[in-house]
Amino acid sequence: MNLSQIVQYGLAGITVGSIYAITAIGFNIIYATTGVINFAQGEFLIVGAMTAISLSRIAPLPVAILGAVLITTVLGGLIEIVFIRPVKHASVLRLIVITIGLSILIREAMLHVWDEKVRSLPYFTGTPVSTVTILGAHISPQILWVLGVSAVIVVALTLFFRFTRTGRAMRACSDDRMAARLCGINDRWMVTLSFMLSAGIGAFAGCVISPVTQTQYDMGAPLAIKGFTVAIVGGLGNSMGAVAAGLFLGLLEALVMSQFATAYKDVVAIVVLLLILIFRPSGLFTRSDVSALRTV
Amino acid sequence: MMRLRIYYPVIAGVLVIVTLHLVLAAADATYYMTQITMSAYYALVVIGLCLLMGYAGQISLGHAGFFAIGGYTVAVLTTYNLATHRSAPLVARCHSLGLLVEWQDLYGREILSFSPWVAFGAALLLTAIIALVIGMPVIRLKGHYLAMATLGFGLIVYRIALGTPILGQADGISNVPPFPLFDGLQVNGRAPFRVQNYYIAWTVVLTAVVLSLNLVHSRVGRALRSIHENEEAAHSLGVNTYRYKLAVFILSALFAAIGGALLTHYNGSVGPSEATVMKSVRYVAVVAVGGMANLWGVLLMGVLLNFLSLRGVFGTFDDAVFGGILIGMMILAPQGLLRASGVRAIVSRLAGRSHG
Amino acid sequence: MDNVLLATKNLHRSFGGVHAVCDVTFNVPPGAIKAVIGPNGAGKTTLFNLIAGTLTPHQGEVLFRGRRITGRKPHAVAAMGIARTFQTTKLFGHMTVLENVMVGRHARTRSGFIAGMLNLPWTWREDRQTRDKAMAILENLDLTSYAPETASNLPFGRQRLVEFARALATEPTLLLLDEPAAGLNIYETQELAELIQRIRDRGITCLIVEHDMSLVMNISDEVVVLDQGKQIAEGPPAAIQRNPDVIRIYLGDDHA
């Protein structure tokens, strides 16, 4: 492979990888506050994208995206209020099973609302064939959008958790829920907020990647698996680790795709997942760094 | 000895099964038996899963994968035609050992393949090994790690089934011969064998239930329940929690594989749709609604829900129904539908105890 | 070997920089009642966890009957003859009291998966023996009437007793009791003291973590004092009571 091909595959890998990272961060946020792995995380991306696609027919693109993000955020909150909160004294396992059921319901609802056709959002800038040249490789400007949006999300979250009162309250909740409650923090609201936050960033990520990968109603589950893999590899709760792990997985998939058939692309993530579970379930980047996202 | 009361529902079950047959025969509707038979084999999976989830307290999102391994192994071994390699030393050796059979398929072709008994044994062995390999590293971790690992495992099985030529890819494998048991009995889905297979399936299922009942009421069953109640305490009392959880995982995988193997012989075919995540989720949903640790409840729900699904009662909302059941059960009645107050009195009377 | 049943040597365990247990060394002679006391956070439960196998020490050894058991898993430690109770009652809530105690017999019985599934006749005898032995223990502790009750329905004091019975069912040589008097009133504590002495008289050595000083001083033969993970003192109760270091960690400097 020559340089431009490497750059091509590399950027493709980083692009997809950053979406995995955002999904993983979504997992981390909910996991940190509740200890629950939200199996429906992947669906948030798809719901966001699908909603934006529908809205974009009646509104300009930025408005459609904003609307979709807001709607999905609210959906995330509703899900928590209706399905998670009423379950008293639930074991973590029971809650996980609930999120599994939720992911199915959301997916089936999407099927009935939008049918099984493949759709996509229009490219944010330019056309499907416009390109930008970097190091000899021709890439779509959408890739730059993906990287940019992902970076913005990560930075915004870091600032949020470190510097805002709500963000610190959420971190307190994830460290010790009872203690946080005793300090006057409304921990139940923090849980709802964590779901809303995860849904929101998921929706945003889903929108920005939609022109590149297309969107179909059942893409949520594979995305959730990969997001979870990345979350585990990076260390559950460690969002800097999630970013690194996401990029790693994206690049690995790109490598496999460049050398072998595309069909096995999805298998890469699963194999990585099994390997990490077997050898290093605490993740590659165990929480020794004190970054602001540590507890997220 | 042993509390004979726990076997009363078995007898009741036998009566229900026979009665059902007679009723259907009288109504000239024995074709329903086909779907009931299929539902029975699917129920085998949930019985094993019930032991895993209800008693060992572990969750598996990949049991459809084990079902598929059972089905595909017997399918491949009994349909792969070795006739052209007849003279190869390995093949000749197998033949002389009686491992191979010759038969004619639907199209009159001469097939030389492994005997269904050999294939069955191979399926069980393979399942046990795979379950061991997956379970060993993951079982010692927290519950959701096993959930994810089994989910990943199920996905890999699905991908392999979908993508491998020898496994028929999207079409799966068909022309799977019947499984001759003994005395003229065979696992065969064709009409003349319908009644016979109805009873074969139920015999297998009830045997599995009896074995499970025995296990649950034994020292091991107590240990499993203690692990589920409080693993740390159980461990401190001498229960090797890791080994027991792993053993139950493998046992439940074997139950699933047996169901898959037999159903494949019954249907004469197997396809990648048996290995999907949705199938795995269904099994979990059935265990949830049957009452995690309630063997009879799980069996009943397993047969009922699968039967309804096979008859198409849920229409395009098939998956949604199971997803909804899962959520509903977890939120409202984690002990299962049949534990709800009024029903519980009847059921516990039948089962004689709380862990029927 | 003969005069030391349990020995800990330079036991060390930390959690992320905090030294929970630091260089703890003491012996427990057979047939003794030995107490481990110290203010909250002294590392007493961690010590128990290190002995029972729930945690692995970062340094040091645990010897039982002269053999190294450091880092052995809890179920193996139980099979060797060390039983324990917990600070917060860890009963099997949905199982009956009798079943709870029967689980205690696990390490002394054999029937496994295959025998269980096939319901082999020899398992019937073993099961009957398990049941009889469990009932005998319950009788000893005056819990017979509670046998068929669901464990979580019992009053708190009785639940503690059931946990005792369960631990005794393992036929231990050494019994680790983690704050057995927690939550008990004066009368129950007195009964507890008598119970522990009865247990010792039957040949079971007891190592007790406790806050209740009257219990400790009345029935212990020896006492070990921990403070913030370190061993401060060791000796007979009377000597400990007069030890200025011990007084200081409990009451502060003025009273030493």
pLDDT in tens, C53-107: 988 898 899 999 989 999 899 999 999 999 999 988 899 988 999 999 999 999 9
CA distance B311 to chain C (A): 34
Q: What is the DSSP letter of A122?
A: P
CB contact at 8 A, A244 and A59? no
- pLDDT value of residue C222: 92
- pLDDT at residue C253 in the model: 59
Identify which of A93, A267, A277 has the shortest CB distance to residue B138.
A277
How near does any CA of chain B get to the CA of A18, in Å? 21
Give residue A201's pLDDT: 92
User: C95 and C142: one domain?
Assistant: yes
Residue C196 — pLDDT band, cuts 50, 70, 90? very high
CA distance C63 to C49: 14
The C-alpha of B235 sits at a distance from chain C's nearest C-alpha, in angstroms, of: 5
pLDDT at A287 over 70: no
Alpha helices in B217-340 (DSSP H): 219-229, 231-236, 241-267, 277-290, 295-310, 318-332
The number of CA neighbours under 13 Å toward the Cβ of A78 is 9
Residue C197 has pLDDT above 50, yes or no: yes
Please say whether the beta carbons of A209 and A248 come within 8 A. no
Contact A8, A237 (CB under 8 A): no
Say whether both C67 and C100 belong to one domain.
no
Cross-strand pairs, C230: C22, C227
| A118 CB burial (10 A radius; 0-12, 13-18, 19+) | exposed
Please give the average per-residue pLDDT across B266-295, as a whole number: 88
The boundaries of the domain holding residue C115 are 82-171
For the stretch B114-136, pLDDT in tens is 888 999 999 999 999 999 998 88
pLDDT of residue B92: 80
For residue B263, the distance in angstroms to the closest alpha carbon of chain C comes to 24
In chain B, what residues touch A83 (CB-CB under 8 Å)? 327, 331
CA-closest candidate to residue C91, choices B238, B355, B225, B221:
B225
Q: Which of B214, B238, B240 sits opposite C116 (nearest CB)?
A: B214
pLDDT per residue as tens digits for the range A69-109: 999 999 999 998 888 888 776 677 778 788 888 888 898 88
By the CB < 8 Å criterion, does C148 face chain B?
Answer: no
* Residue C83, pLDDT score: 94
Query: pLDDT tens digits for C127-159?
Result: 999 999 999 999 988 899 999 999 999 998 889
CA distance C101 to C166: 4
Cβ–Cβ below 8 Å for B156 and A225: no
pLDDT at A67: 93
pTM (two decimals): 0.86
Query: Which of A105, A225, A267 shows the shortest C-beta gap to B320?
Result: A105
Residues of B in contact with C116 (CB under 8 A): 214-215, 218-221
Which candidate from A93, A264, A273 shows the least CB-CB separation from B148? Answer: A273
The first and second tokens of residue C113, run together, are: 């998966």
**Contact across the interface for B330 and A97, Cβ inside 8 Å:** yes
Are the Cβ atoms of A94 and B330 closer than 8 angstroms? yes
Chain A positions with Cβ closer than 8 Å to B: 37, 83, 86-87, 90, 92-98, 100-105, 107-109, 112, 221, 225, 228-229, 232, 263-264, 266-267, 270-271, 273-274, 277-279, 281
User: Residue A268 — pLDDT band, cuts 50, 70, 90?
Assistant: confident
Q: Do B331 and A86 touch (CB under 8 A)?
A: yes
Q: Is the dihedral of CA C226, C229, C232, C235 positive or negative?
A: positive
Chains B and A touch (3+ CB pairs under 8 A): yes
Is residue B342 very low, low, confident or very high in pLDDT (cuts 50, 70, 90)? very low
CB contact under 8 A, B319 and A108: yes
Same domain, C92 and C163: yes
Reported as type and span, the H/E element at residue A205 is helix A187-213
pLDDT at position B355:
44
From the list C165, C158, C112, the residue with the least C-alpha distance to C138 is: C165
How many angstroms separate the CA of residue B341 from the nearest CA in chain C? 17
Q: Residues with Cβ < 8 Å from A116, sequence gap 6 or more?
A: A216, A217, A218
Nearest CA in chain B to C130: B219
Confidence of residue A177 (pLDDT cuts 50, 70, 90): confident
d(CA A63, nearest CA chain B) in Å: 32
Higher pLDDT, A238 or C2: A238
Q: Tally the residues of chain C.
A: 256
Q: Which CATH number does the domain A3-279 belong to among 2.60.40, 1.10.3470, 1.10.10, 3.30.420?
A: 1.10.3470
Burial C58-94 (b: 16+ CB within 10 A, else e): eebebbbbeeebbebbbbbbbbbbbbbbbeebbbbeb
B162-166, B334-338, C230-234: range with highest mean pLDDT: C230-234
Domains and CATH numbers, chain B: 4-78+116-351 (1.10.3470)
> In the structure, what pLDDT confidence band is assigned to residue C43 with cuts at 50, 70 and 90?
confident
Q: Do B2 and C124 touch (CB under 8 A)?
A: yes
Residue B352 Cα to chain centre, angstroms: 26
The percent helix, strand, coil of chain C (3-state, each to 5) is 45, 25, 30
Query: Do the chains contact at A97 and B316, CB–CB below 8 Å?
Result: no
Q: Is the Cβ pair A278, B159 closer than 8 Å? A: no
pLDDT for B213 equals 92
- Mean pLDDT taken over chain B: 85
User: Quick one: average pLDDT of A167-173?
Assistant: 82
CB contact under 8 Å between C95 and B232, yes or no, is no
Please report the pLDDT score of residue B337 as a whole number: 55
Structure tokens given for C53: 């196998």
Residue B242, Cα to own-chain centre: how many angstroms? 23
What is the percent of chain A with per-residue pLDDT over 70, rounded to a whole number? 93
Q: Residue by residue, what is the 3-state secondary structure of B153-201?
A: HHHHHHHHHHHCHHHCHHHCECCCCCEECCCCCEECCCHHHHHHHHHHH
- CA B190, B194, B200, B206 dihedral sign is positive
Chain B CB contacts of C130 below 8 Å: 219
Q: What is the pLDDT of residue B42?
A: 93
Most A CBs within 10 Å: which of B55, B331, B335, as the mutation test of the A interface?
A: B331
C115, amino acid identity: A
Neighbour tally for C137: CB within 10 Å: 22
Please give the mean pLDDT across all residues of chain A.
83
Would residue C50 count as lying in a domain? yes
Interface confidence, given as ipTM, is 0.89
pLDDT of C174 reads: 94
Average pLDDT rounded to a whole number, residues C16-37: 88
What b/e readout covers B322-346, taking b as 16+ CB neighbours within 10 angstroms? bbbbbbbbbbeebbbbbbeeeebee
Q: Which residues of A touch B159 (CB under 8 A)?
A: 263-264, 266-267, 270
Interface test with B, best of C72, C85, C89, C92 (most B CBs within 10 A): C92
Whole-number pLDDT of residue C154: 92
**pLDDT, tens only, B168-221:** 888 888 888 888 888 777 888 787 888 888 899 999 999 999 999 999 999 999
Binary contact (C106, B239; C-beta < 8 A): yes
**In chain A, what percentage of residues exceed pLDDT 90?**
21
Q: Is residue C218 part of a domain?
A: yes
pLDDT-wise least confident of B92-106, B110-124, C116-130: B92-106
Question: What is the count of structural domains for chain C?
Answer: 2
Using left for φ > 0, alpha for ψ between -120 and 50, and beta otherwise, residue A60 falls in: beta
Q: List the structure tokens of C40.
A: 């909250």
String of DSSP letters for C102-135: HHHTGGG----HHHHHHT-HHHHHHHHHHHHHHH
Judged on CB neighbours under 10 Å (0-12, 13-18, 19+), A109 is middle
Compute the distance between CA of residue C24 and CA of residue C61 in angstroms, rounded to an integer. 10
Find the farthest-apart pair of alpha carbons in chain A and give their distance in angstroms, rounded. Answer: 60
Which of A4-13, A17-26, C241-250 ranks highest by mean pLDDT? A17-26
CATH number at residue C220: 3.40.50.300
Q: What is the pLDDT of residues B134-159, one digit of tens each?
A: 888 888 877 777 888 888 889 889 98
> Are B236 and C95 within 8 A, CB to CB?
no
Record: contact A109-B288, CB cut-off 8 A = no
Nearest residue in chain B measured CA to CA from C122:
B1
On whether the CB atoms of residues B334 and B326 are closer than 8 A, the answer is no
A and C adjacent (3 or more CB pairs under 8 angstroms): no
pLDDT band at C256 (very low <50, low <70, confident <90, very high): very low
Q: Are strands C222-227 and C230-235 parallel, antiparallel or unpaired?
A: antiparallel
Choose, out of C54, C105, C110, C117, the residue to mutate when testing the contact with B (most B CBs < 10 Å): C117
Q: What angle do CA C98, C99, C105 make, to 5 degrees?
A: 100
Q: Answer with the one of C154, C171, C188 that is the final residue of a domain.
A: C171
Name the pLDDT band for A1 (thresholds 50, 70, 90).
low
* Distances from the Cα of B106 to the Cα of B79, B102, B103, B176, C243, angstroms: 12, 13, 10, 10, 94
Q: What is the pLDDT of residues B3-52, one digit of tens each?
A: 788 888 888 889 988 888 888 888 888 788 888 999 999 999 999 999 99
Contact B219/C54, CB-based, under 8 Å? Answer: no
By C-alpha distance, the chain B residue nearest A227 is B148
**B218/C83 touch (CB, cutoff 8 Å), yes or no:** no
What is the predicted pLDDT for the residue at B354? 43
Q: Is the pLDDT of residue B353 over 50?
A: no
CA distance B50 to chain A (A): 15
Cβ contacts of C86 on chain B, cutoff 8 Å: 232-233, 236
- Are C99 and B222 inside 8 Å of each other by CB? yes
Please say whether the beta carbons of B218 and C119 come within 8 A.
yes
CB contact under 8 A, B148 and A37: yes
* A202, amino acid identity: G
CB A76 within 8 A of CB A199: yes
Q: B69 pLDDT band (50/70/90 cuts)?
A: very high
- Put simply, the answer to whether A281 touches B145 (Cβ < 8 Å) is yes
Contact check, Cβ <8 Å, B236/C107: no
My answer on whether C45 and C90 are in the same domain is no
Place of tokens 């949020």: A160
For B81, phi then psi, to 5°, come to: -85, 115
Tell me which residue in B144, B156, B320 faces A37 most closely, judged by beta carbons. Answer: B144
Chain C hits for B230, CB-CB cut-off 8 Å, are: 90-93
pLDDT value at position B349? 53
Given a contact cutoff of 8 angstroms between Cβ atoms, the answer to whether C41 and C226 are in contact is no
Tell me the pLDDT of chain C averaged across its residues: 89
Q: What angle do CA C171, C177, C182 make, to 5 degrees?
A: 140
Which chains are within 8 Å of C by 3+ CB pairs?
A: B
Q: Which residues of chain B have a Cβ shorter than 8 Å from any chain C Cβ?
A: 1-2, 211-212, 214-215, 218-223, 225-226, 229-230, 232-241, 247, 251
Which chains pack against A, by 3+ Cβ pairs within 8 A?
A: B
- For residues A115-121, average pLDDT: 84
Q: What is the pLDDT of residue B5?
A: 81
- The confidence score (pLDDT) of residue A4 equals 76
Q: Is residue C55 part of a domain?
A: yes
Mean pLDDT throughout A122-127?
A: 78
